[in-house]
Structure 1
Amino acid sequence: MRNYILYIVLFFSLTINAQVQDTLKVTVQDSSVLYSIELEEIVVTRNGVKGLDEQRKKILILKRRVYKVYPYAKLTAEKLLQINETMAKLKTNKEKKKYFKLVEKYLQEEFEPKLKKLSRKDGQILVKLIYRQTGSTTFDLIKDYKSGWKAFWSSNTAKLFSIDLKTKYEPFDVLEDFHIESILVTAFKERYLVQQPSAKDIDLKKLAANWREKIQKMKEARLEKEELEEVKNNN
């Protein structure tokens, strides 16, 4: 089943040049780490330090997943460009079909065993990062390079494992995507991952301001709720 979920990566990724080192360090003070804004919201809750530690643990796990799958998403974008350039040079449909079959056969033999080891959550993160790097959902990429029928069945199969191939990357609206972008910004700056520009520009200052405002509202709402609960308990 995971073959369907990760088909687009098998189709576009020709090689992985190196493994990235994960130092497993997450601190509020990390330079350019936008997700520290969210950590501040945890501190004011009744969970105190425990809540902060739990949040750090979740981000650390997410960081490991991002480090693991980002190279696949990056290579997907690179090979998509390469394939399009090669296809443009081929003159007949017969030549194009032959080229497609050769690429697909090589990728399945070379990378299928590696991609099968990805977990369900790894697949969810990978789908988001493919959108970040290509500007298209995994569903649309499969539809464009195979048939719409193939994309339909791939999507429905993926949903059985809680992976929606139509998922987009939305760091301004989805908290997990905001965390992912924060992790990438730091990884690029510290050279743990090789930076590749996202398909769509992301204004980091606006992103930080956006979530700072949202987190402030979360803090106010949570404090108000806690105050109401305290009044209720006292009565």
Structure 2
Amino acid sequence: MKFIGFLLMFCCLVGEVSAQTDKPAPMVLGKNDTIRVAVTDVDGQLIPWVVCPPIRIVDTRIFANDADRDNYRRLRYNVMKVLPYARFAGQRYAKLQRDLALTGDKKKQKELISTCEGEIKTLFDKEIKNLTISQGEVLIKLIDRETGQTSYTMVKELKGGFKAFMFQSVASIFGHNLKETYDPDEQRDIEAILTQAGYNSTSY
């Protein structure tokens, strides 16, 4: 009995000590606990507005047959192959326009155009000349998408009408049309490919 009484007294003491030591710690507000946010009152309950990161929803494309799937894959390969060249053309053309706008000196303008032409020619000699006809056609369309100008218009603007005519004549031999424009509605497959690749820059 003495042992049981001692045990009961010990348990009471432990319980009392635990009750004193297990008190919840005072609440400390952090810096993020005082951020003001917009709320909406829904039946008396305030619902905070939470800004979520953008979510891309991409549908799964269903092809009618294997040939359509192969054509789409081939187009995707061609688009990704020539996209860096189209982006370079767009950025270089924009830089040239800015540089030309900063000087009224005709000689300086000719030098700027000549430098730009040299850079594009170097790129052509190294890379672009090896493109297939299909890739060249996609490139012409993407250049129009990037710059808002057809390749023909750009050549005519920078080198004159005769040069543009000569370039167009040579391009036609290889099945290209420098006057080809880009219509995002007509080129829905290309738009879808660029969107899926996370590239949405466009002059339109």
| Aligned: 1:197 with 2:197 | no
CA distance in 2, matches of 1:155, 1:111: 16
Determine which of 151, 154, 162 is the counterpart of 2:164. 151
Shift of 1:92: 1.0
Partner of 1:233: none
Determine which of 127, 140, 144 is the counterpart of 1:131. 144
CA distance in 2, matches of 1:181, 1:106: 28
Q: Report the TM-score when normalising by structure 2.
A: 0.66
| Aligned: 1:57 with 2:70 | yes
- Alpha carbon RMSD of aligned pairs, Å? 2.1
Determine which of 130, 133, 143 is the counterpart of 1:120. 133
Q: Is the 8 A contact 1:65 1:122 kept in 2?
A: yes
Partner of 1:227: none
Unaligned runs of 5+ in 2: 1-55
Q: Is the 8 A contact 2:92 2:116 kept in 1?
A: no
Partner of 1:105: 118
Partner of 1:170: helix, strand, or coil? coil
The structure carrying a bigger helix percent of its residues is 1
Partner of 1:32: 58
Determine which of 105, 108, 129 is the counterpart of 1:92. 105
Q: Report the TM-score when normalising by structure 1.
A: 0.58
Shift of 1:100: 2.2
Unaligned runs of 5+ in 1: 1-29, 43-50, 189-194, 201-235
CA distance in 1, matches of 2:118, 2:142: 24
Q: Is the 8 A contact 1:32 1:182 kept in 2?
A: no
Deviations 1:104-137 (A, max 9, x none): 3344235422111111111100001111111111
CA distance in 1, matches of 2:59, 2:80: 15
Partner of 1:178: 188
The number of residue pairs the alignment matches comes to 149
Shift of 1:94: 1.1
CA radius of gyration, larger in: 2
Percent of residue pairs identical: 29
Higher relative contact order (CA closer than 8 Å, sequence separation 6+): 1
